[in-house]
Structures are given as C-alpha cells and as structure tokens.
Amino acid sequence: MEVYRAPEVLIIHLKRFSHSRSMMGARKVSELVDFPINGLNMAPFLIDKKQKKVIYDLYAVSNHFGGMGGGHYTAYAKNFVHEKWYNFDDSDVSKASSSDCISKAAYVLFYKLRQ
C-alpha cells in the first residue's frame, strides 16, 4: 500500500467478507486484527517523503456482528473533550475503554492525524 500524501482523517476498511468462486458464495472473516489505538506511523507508506512525522490516533471503530445473511452494527468513539471512549449500540450508549475497540468485530477504523 502506498499513499501520496497523508490525509487529516485516515479511514481503514478491514475486509471482513471473503468471496470465492469455488465455494459459490461468501463467508465472514472473523480473525482478530490487532491495530494500534495510538501512534499509527504511516510515514513508511508515503510516496511524498517531505512529510516526516505522520502519526495517527484512533478515534472511532465501526463493528459488524453477524454473518452474510444479516447482522448488527455498533461503534466505539472517543469524546475528544473528555478523552473518554464510548460504545454506541442503537439507542444505548455506555462507557468503554480503548482496549474494547480491538475485537473480531472491528470493521472500519477511523484515525485522525496527530497535530
């Protein structure tokens, strides 16, 4: 993977569905992907080498539970005012920790460029 220039917001979509012609269908991929909460260094992946310090911090995660026929989405997000994590599940909101974000359900990762 190469990126020309570092964006302010970096969105990483984890491929959670595998399609196969031989299986005539698809399956959900549920392996744990261990990703950094703080300090994701993207400098090695930049084409424009003028940007030396390119560090990202996670601020939200979209989760998918279920399979190919249906499922449920939840999210973790960080409140920047209070520096606390929350779990959003339909109309329910509860406190969470940053370590809760790393799970087999993580689907889309949202990072913000550290200033």
pTM of structure: 0.86
Q: Where are the domains of the chain?
A: 9-113
What percent of the chain clears pLDDT 70, i.e. is strictly above it? 90
Q: Is a pLDDT exceeding 70 seen at residue 19?
A: no
pLDDT digits (tens, 9 = 90+) for 34-55: 999 999 999 888 887 777 789 9
pLDDT at 24: 62
Q: Name the residue among 115, 108, 110, 113 with its Cα closest to residue 74.
A: 108
Residues 58-77 pLDDT 10s:
999 999 988 777 789 999 99
